[in-house]
Structure formats: C-alpha cells, structure tokens
Amino acid sequence: MKMECTLLNNGIEIPMLGLGTYKIGKTDEDVYNAIRTALDVGYRHIDTAALYANEVPIGKAIRESGIPREDIFVTTKLWGNDVVKDEVPQAFDRSMQLLNIGYVDLYLVHWPVKGKLVSTWREMEKIYASDKAKAIGLSNHLLHHLEEILDEANVLPTVNQVEMHPYVVLDDLVDFCADNTIVCEAWSPLGSNKAPLLEEKILKEIGEKYGKSPAQVVLRWNIERGVVAIPKSSNKERQAANLNIFDFKLTPEDVQLINSLDKNYRTGIHPDEIGF
Ligand code: A2P
C-alpha cells in the first residue's frame, strides 16, 4: 500500500505517517534496531530531536538501510536551552553532525521560548536559506505563538507539531493551521502509554467494523483530518500495524464519535507551562 503524502507550503512532500522516536530505545543499539525494522516495514518518515539524544544511531540506521537518502523524510528539532543561550546555528550544526545524513528534510523549533519566538524564527529562516534543511517549522506552538510569529515571518512555517489525539482534539488549532497553509502533525497520536485512550469502547467498536485495532482507527482519524501522525513503536509488528491504515475510511458518524472523546487532556506538558 503506497504511503500517502501531503505537500508542505514550500512544495516539499511529507509522508502522512512517520515514526516518533522519543525514548524509542534504551541503548543506541535498541534505537538503531528500531529504525532499521521501521524502514524494513515501510516507514519513510522518521522524527527525532536533539533532546532525544538518539540522532547518532538514527543517522547510522538511515545510512546503512540501503534506501536512497532522498526517499526518507527526516525531522529533527532545536532544543530550548540552545535558544536561551542564543546558540541556534551551533545547535543545528551539532544535529547535522550527529545525524550525518547530508541534510534534514524538516527542522522544527521544539518548544516556544518566551520572548524569543520571533528572533528564533529569524535564525530558522537563515538555516532554511542555507538549504541544509529543506523545510522549517514549529512544534508545541499554540495559536497565540503562531500569530506572533506569522506577523513577522519572511518564510512561513511549514508545520506545527503538537500533542494531538482524541483526548485533545484542538479543532481551533487545526483550522487555524489549515487557513495559514501550515500542516499539523500529531505527536503521541495514540495518547502515549500514559492515557487509556486505546481502551475506549468507541474505538474498539469502530475498529471492529473495519477489522482494525483502536490504534489504527485513531491514526486513520488523524490522517482524515489532514494531520500527519508520528506514532512511536519499537516493536516490528506494531510498527507495521500502524502503517496499515490506508485501506479503509471512517464515516462522518465514526469521526463524530471519535471527536466526542475530547476532554482537552494532554499527557505531556502544556506549551504555556514549559519552563524556558
Ligand atoms: P511499543 O514501542 O511497545 O509499541 P507515543 O505516544 O510516544 O507515540 O508512544 C506510543 C506508545 O504506544 C508506545 O508506548 C508504544 O509502545 C505503544 N504503541 C505503539 N503502537 C501501538 C499499537 N498499535 N497498539 C498499542 N500500543 C502501541
């Protein structure tokens, strides 16, 4: 089944489903193996970050996979401490060295840093101009952060990656991003293992109609609202299952039921409460 892609506002294609890699393995070897199995089962979109401290084994797995570099979409992210220290170019160069894959497809500001939203974006624009990042974007930015940046941006952010799943639906943010040609990406699209999302009866019942698991239903729901999803799994079978969502369609009634699970509940930190 061919992976669906969507176009970023600068003409670059991004696969709708990618692999999240935060805490995907305890050791570099675990991380390496998880990425190799993901690439083997068909992932062509890998999401990492400087914070995850796994750029080295991820880069190695990509290089040794035998898959042409240009066939794999790779994202990494700028950590807030480097913003605080005014060391954005140095942070980018470090990620490039650790990954050692020539370029990144997408470089994201990991979290908003108070008072530095626009100055950080200026640094990101310089990185984009260097052509070592094919696209630049944001992560964990709320509406008010986006508005502040968009007022001043010379280059539009391509992406905003936030925690998003049926417990935190964020319709306003999704609509705002769509109106501004920004693609939303969902991290922890399965609600992480901290929330009992996948035990929800509604998801089980919908899944039964299509022969799909609750996880596959949730991932499909993301894709159908135009949201790119990056579920994490280190397990080959679950990695493959999470990719197997492009052969069924939810009905409007299914979508409404899934939306009804919304309780504005995040498993991770609220972007206004991050301590940078
Ligand atoms: P595992 O790696 O053992 O598959 P995140 O919210 O950070 O994306 O993490 C997703 C969590 O859900 C991980 O703990 C992962 O564990 C688990 N997971 C991933 N895919 C599935 C699936 N299809 N069904 C159930 N659990 C899943």
Share of the chain above pLDDT 70, in %: 99
For ligand 1, say whether the CB of 190 is within 6 Å of any of its atoms: yes
Active site residues: 52
> H/E/C letters for each residue in 198-209?
HHCHHHHHHHHH
Whether the CB of 192 sits within 6 Å of ligand 1: yes
Find the 94 Cα to ligand 1 centroid distance in Å: 29
pTM of the model: 0.97
Distance 190 CA to ligand 1 centre (A): 7
d(CA 76, CA 25): 17
62 phi/psi in degrees, rounded to 5: -65, -45
Query: What would the mean pLDDT of 126-133 be, rounded to a whole number?
Result: 97
The mean predicted confidence, pLDDT, of the chain is 97
Q: Which of 13, 81, 11 is nearest to 228 (CA)?
A: 13
For residue 18 and ligand 1, the question of a CB distance below 6 A is answered with: no
Return the pLDDT at 194: 79
pLDDT score recorded for residue 239: 98
Residue 193 predicted with pLDDT over 90: no
pLDDT band of 195, cuts 50, 70, 90: confident
- pLDDT of 134-169, one tens digit each? 999 999 999 999 999 999 999 999 999 999 999 999
Q: Whose CA is nearest to atom 14 of ligand 1?
A: 193
